[in-house]
């Protein structure tokens, strides 16, 4: 029997995840960034960066899962990011919501076998950015549906990630708790590192997420390792639970500490890519600071996870 994510974080931390699926598969030509039709990253776009690759080109996704596993990932994320019914509907895939979520879990489990855990990825719906707090009930319904699909398909745990609003994250954690699955929770801080989009400090976010049942709390996406590590250390200290962190692999600046607000997003990202060696250093910091769960996010691929694993192995 496989250890749970909570046991793994206790016994073998930092547990190495994966990450960066959508941007990597966009580069490989299997995911639509939407940039040909609209200015993406504004929160107002329609169907960009949705995971229909799961059913349209499953071999491409299977291969990327294999690469991460080979690189040292102990957790594979099912590619269910942005796969709520509403987001998929905006992209024209709403009727395949169940098919996409179920197939994503099946595919990740097939590759993982007994060698890795499978996490169900649950992201913000984008409705808080579009409609504000009035979207809360709709968001609750959408996340409840997706989490039920992921639980029924057999994920080992849930990874709530890339939430901009703490209020939406807390709703997500409520839905997660009802599933009975262990849950890791990471916010994304944009446009400032000082507060979530609804004005809560990282420390406050961390405490609220831990109180809402998250087994580990932290941040993912938007910042490179050197900028995100101090942020999540503060969060972990405030919450008193394990830290989960999945940095982006893009260079940001003090003025713009989030890559999706950089002018290079999404069609010139190669020009702000950080070196994989930065992820080796990130691995050393993860050991030093006893992080529970580490992976990558946008801009990462298997080379970065391999570097991360090397940093962890030789701190
Ligand atoms: Zn990301």
248 C-alpha to center of ligand 1: Å?
Answer: 6
CA separation for the pair 33, 16 (Å, rounded): 27
108 C-alpha to center of ligand 1: Å?
Answer: 19
CA angle 79, 83, 84 (to 5 degrees): 150
For the entire predicted model, the pTM comes to: 0.97
145 C-alpha to center of ligand 1: Å?
Answer: 23
CA separation for the pair 241, 75 (Å, rounded): 19
298 C-alpha to center of ligand 1: Å?
Answer: 4
98 C-alpha to center of ligand 1: Å?
Answer: 23
Are 111 and 76 within 8 A, CB to CB? yes
175 C-alpha to center of ligand 1: Å?
Answer: 22
> What would the two tokens of residue 43 be?
């929160």
Per-residue pLDDT of the chain (315 residues; tens, 9 = 90+): 689 999 999 999 899 999 999 999 999 999 998 888 877 666 555 558 999 999 999 999 999 999 999 999 999 999 999 999 999 999 999 999 999 999 999 999 999 999 999 999 999 999 999 999 999 999 999 999 999 999 999 999 999 999 999 999 999 999 999 999 999 999 999 999 999 999 999 999 999 999 999 999 999 999 999 999 999 999 999 999 999 999 999 999 999 999 999 999 999 999 999 999 999 999 999 999 999 999 999 999 999 999 999 999 997
> What would the two tokens of residue 287 be?
């050991």
Identify each DSSP E strand in 113-181 by its residue range.
Answer: 117-123, 157-163
Are 272 and 296 within 8 A, CB to CB? no
Rg of the Cα trace of the chain?
Answer: 17
| DSSP state letters, 30-42 | SS---TTTS-TTS
């Amino acid at each position: 029997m496989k250890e749970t994510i909570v046991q793994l974080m206790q016994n073998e931390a930092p547990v190495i995840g994966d990450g960066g699926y959508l941007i990597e598969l966009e580069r490989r030509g299997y995911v639509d960034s939407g940039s040909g039709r609209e200015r993406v990253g504004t929160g107002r776009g329609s169907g960009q960066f949705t995971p229909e690759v799961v059913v349209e080109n499953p071999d491409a996704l299977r291969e990327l899962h294999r690469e991460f596993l080979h690189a040292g990932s102990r957790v594979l994320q099912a590619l269910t990011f942005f796969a709520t019914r509403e987001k998929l509907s905006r992209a024209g895939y709403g009727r395949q919501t169940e098919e996409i979520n179920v197939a994503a879990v099946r595919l990740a489990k097939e590759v993982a076998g007994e060698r890795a855990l499978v996490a169900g990825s649950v992201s913000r719906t984008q409705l808080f950015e579009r409609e504000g707090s009035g979207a809360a009930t709709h968001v609750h319904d959408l996340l409840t549906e997706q989490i039920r699909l992921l639980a029924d398909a057999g994920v080992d745990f849930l990874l709530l990630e890339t939430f901009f609003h703490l209020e939406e994250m807390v709703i997500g954690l409520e839905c997660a708790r009802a599933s009975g699955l262990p849950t890791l929770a990471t916010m994304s801080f944009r446009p400032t590192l000082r507060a979530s989009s609804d004005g809560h400090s990282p420390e406050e976010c961390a405490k609220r997420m831990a109180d809402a049942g998250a087994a580990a709390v932290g941040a993912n996406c938007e910042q490179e390792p050197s900028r995100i590590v101090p942020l999540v250390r503060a969060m972990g200290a405030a919450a008193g639970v394990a830290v989960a962190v999945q940095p982006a692999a893009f260079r940001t600046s003090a003025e713009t500490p989030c890559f999706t607000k950089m002018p290079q997003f999404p069609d010139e990202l190669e020009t702000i890519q950080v070196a994989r060696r930065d992820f080796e250093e990130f691995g050393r910091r993860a050991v030093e600071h006893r992080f529970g769960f580490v992976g990558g996010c946008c801009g990462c691929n298997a080379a970065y996870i391999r570097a991360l694993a090397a940093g962890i192995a030789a701190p």
